[in-house]
Structure 1
Amino acid sequence: MKLNCIAIDDEPLALGLISTFISQTPFLNLAGTYSSAVKAMEALGSQEIQLIFLDIQMPNLNGIELARLLHQTNQPKQPRIIFTTAYNQFAVDSYRVDALDYLLKPFDYEDFLRAANKALTYYSQRGQQPAELPQADYIFVRVEYQLVRIALDDILYVEGLKDYLKIHLASTGKAILTLMTMKSLEEKLPSQRFMRVQRSFIVALDKISAITKHTIRVGETEITIGEQYKPALQEFLSKWL
C-alpha cells in the first residue's frame, strides 16, 4: 500500500525536510508541496490525497482553520492530518479536528516515521476489515490523560456538547466526558447497534423504550429526531412493523 500525501509549510527549510522524509519512506508518495494552505486547497480538490503533513502557524489560512474546513465537508474520503508545528499549545485544537498525530518541531526521522506508520495502520485496517467481521464489544475513549474502556452494552446514548461528548451509561446513571467529535465516535460504534438521530445525539437502538413521530425516549430522556435522520430511523423500524 502506498499513500498519496502532501506537505504544507510556509518555512522552506521545514518544507524541504518533510519532503525528504516523505521521499525516503517506501509507503508514502509525495504528491505535492505547498507554502500555504490556500494553494493546497486546489490540489485537494483535484486529486485524491490520503495524508497531509500540515504546519499550523501560516498566514491567511492557518493549519487548524484548513483542518476545520476539511472536517466540515463530511466527504467519505477525507485525508487524515498530521500536524507539524513548533508550538505545543495547539495540541487540544488538533484533537478537536480529529488529527491523526501531532509532531512538535524539531523532530527527527524516527518521530516522523512513527506518525506516518499510524496513517499506514489506519488505511490498512480500513481496507482489510470487511463489514461482516465481528466487532469488539467495547470502545476506548480519552478521558483527561487516560484511555477509558466502555462496554457497548453499557451505552445509553451520546450527547454532543460543542467540543466534547457526554457518553451516558446505564450501569452508573452518569456520563463520561470525552474530547472528541461526533463523527469520530460514530465511526467507532457499530451501525447495527447505534444510530445518530440528530446532530447532537447518537442512541443505542436496544435502549430505546418508546418512539413517536418526532421523538425517541431512552430511559427518562426524550430526544427530538432530526429531520435528516428520520428516513434511516424509519428504515430501521420497518423491519419490526
Structure 2
Amino acid sequence: MTYQRRTKDQLAARVALDIHEGATVNLGIGMPTLVANHIAASTEVLLHSENGILGMGPAPNEGCEDYDLINAGKQPVTLLPGGAFFHHADSFAMMRGGHLDICVLGAFQVSATGDLANWHTGEPGAIPAVGGAMDLAIGAKQTWVMMDLLTKQGKSKVVENCTYPLTGIACVKRIYSDLATLACTPRGLTLIDMVEGLAHTELEALVGLSIQVLNDAN
C-alpha cells in the first residue's frame, strides 16, 4: 500500500489538534506559523510572538495585510479581541519565566531523546539564526518540533545524536512530521501516529532508529 506525505497545511492542522483549550503558545518562524490558521475560532488559545504580541489570530486575507502588525518572522498577522502589544524584553521574560505552555519550532535535527538543533548547521558560510529559539526551547512547558522528516537529500532529521550545534538538551517532547508524529523520551522514540499506508518497519528504516509502539504514546 502506498502512502502520501502530509502537506504543510495538513501537518499544521495535526499540530493544532493537540493544542489544549486555554494554552499559551508560541509558534516559531517558518512552517509553525501555519498552525495559527488551523486553531478553531471556538477554541481559546493565546498565541504569543517574541517580538511582543499576545493574542494573535490567523494570517490576514490577501490585501488586508498591515505591515505594522507582524510576527517575529516579519509576516503580517491579525490580532484577536483583547490582544496586546508589549516590549520584547517583557516578551522574553514571559518565555524565560515558564509562562508558555507550548512552543512549536522548526528544526535541522532532533535526537531520539529530545535534543534540538535548529539555529545553525555548522557549515562554512551558513548564517546562524538564534533568535528566541534557545529561550523558547528551555522556557516553554512543552517544546514541539514541526518539520519534514527527511532532508532534500533523503536523510532523516531525527537522529540518534545531533551533529549540528545544539539549541537545547532533552527539551523536545514531540516531533510532528509529514510522515509521523513521534514522542521523544529518555528511552528513545515512541510512535504516536503515522500517515495511512506507511508501515512501522518502513518508518524505522527511513529514520534509521528503533521506534517503540505503545497504546498511549503521550
Q: The TM-score by the shorter chain falls in which range?
A: under 0.3
Higher helix share: 1
TM-score by length of 2: 0.27
Pair member with larger Rg: 1
Larger fraction in strand:
1
User: Per chain length, whose mean CA-contact separation is higher, i.e. which structure has more relative contact order (CA < 8 Å, sep 6+)?
Assistant: 2
